[in-house]
């Protein structure tokens, strides 16, 4: 977006007063560039029960995770029973493919690579 100084002063009078003093030449243009970075996918992220289950290697390990979450108040008894039932009837694959080792680290690297590419394009 390109604005003349007069347009800039009309649209943003307070900002214009802060940025410009009366010594500037009126023919000078200001180029304002606004960039939006991709949102950080991990900001405020809290793993769900399914996230934990998808990291399990065995059904037994998945039961241990459910028991742990229930014991520590992270999962209501009724919900824990439902997860156990789903696990028993459908198996571990029901919750999705297994998240490989360093899953979150790899996803974070992808995000940082995107940010680096955006930074290098300037």
CA distance between the termini of the chain: 17
Domain count, the chain: 2
**Range of the structural domain that residue 27 is part of:** 2-31
Q: For residues 94 and 69, what is the distance between their CA atoms, to the nearest angstrom?
A: 19
Which pLDDT tens digit goes with each residue over 7-45?
878 888 888 787 776 565 556 666 666 666 777 777 888
Name the pTM for this structure.
0.59
Residues 56, 95, single domain; the answer is: yes
Q: For residues 116 and 95, what is the distance between their CA atoms, to the nearest angstrom?
A: 33
Residues 56, 92, single domain; the answer is: yes
- The alpha helices in 55-102, defined as continuous H runs, are 59-71, 77-90
Residues 56, 26, single domain; the answer is: no
């Amino acid at each position: 977006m390109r604005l003349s100084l007069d347009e800039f002063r009309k649209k943003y009078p307070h900002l214009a007063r802060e940025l410009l003093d009366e010594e500037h030449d009126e023919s000078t243009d200001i180029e304002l560039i606004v960039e939006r970075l991709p949102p950080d996918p991990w900001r405020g992220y809290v793993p769900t029960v399914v996230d934990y289950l998808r990291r399990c290697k065995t059904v037994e390990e998945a039961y241990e995770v459910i028991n742990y979450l229930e014991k520590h108040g992270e999962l209501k008894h009724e919900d824990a029973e439902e997860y156990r039932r789903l696990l028993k009837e459908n198996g571990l694959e029901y919750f999705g493919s297994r998240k490989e080792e360093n899953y979150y680290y790899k996803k974070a690297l992808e995000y940082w690579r995107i940010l680096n590419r955006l930074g290098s394009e300037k």
